[in-house]
Amino acid sequence: MDYRKFGESYYIRLDKGDEIISSLLDICGKEGISSATFYGIGGCSSAEIQTFIPESGSFETETVSGMLELVSMTGNIAVNESGRLTHHTHALFSYKQDGAHLTSGGHIKSITVLYTAEIELRPAVGGIIRKKKDPITGTGFWNFD
């Protein structure tokens, strides 16, 4: 992994074997970033994709693996009620399976890089975005209080 700050943004290159979400959280911790948005593309080897099931209040997780083109990834980082950095990330992957071109995407738990990933991280300027758990859905939402 390598990254640089240009202006207010961080430009991050992740390498084979790097896990994207934990790398972003590590950079935020190291750089003192408590709130940010990010987006990226790349070539990945596996992804844990989650779908929220409202009836159970839990996430269903599916793992896809192989040569995954990270077509689009977008998300944010905020401080949760415990004061820890947390993420909310969605991504879309394309890949080939049995000769067919397929896509898969949704809420992301983790992504492992196969070749590289290129990400722009934009810290929030002038404030901190926090997450507050919604007791009805069990999910977290931005809290500006």
- What's the sign of the alpha-carbon dihedral 9, 72, 88, 25? negative
| pTM given for the model | 0.93
From first to last of its 145 residues, the chain has per-residue pLDDT tens of: 999 999 999 999 999 999 999 999 999 999 999 999 999 999 999 999 999 888 887 889 999 999 999 999 999 999 999 999 999 999 999 999 999 999 999 999 999 999 999 999 999 999 999 999 888 777 788 988 7
> Among candidates 46, 47, 49, 44, which has minimal Cα distance to 15?
44
2-143 under CATH 3.40.50.1100, yes or no: no
- Phi/psi of residue 27, each to 5°? -60, -45
Q: Check: CB of residue 44 under 8 Å from CB of residue 97.
A: no
Which residue ranges make up each domain of the chain? Answer: 2-143
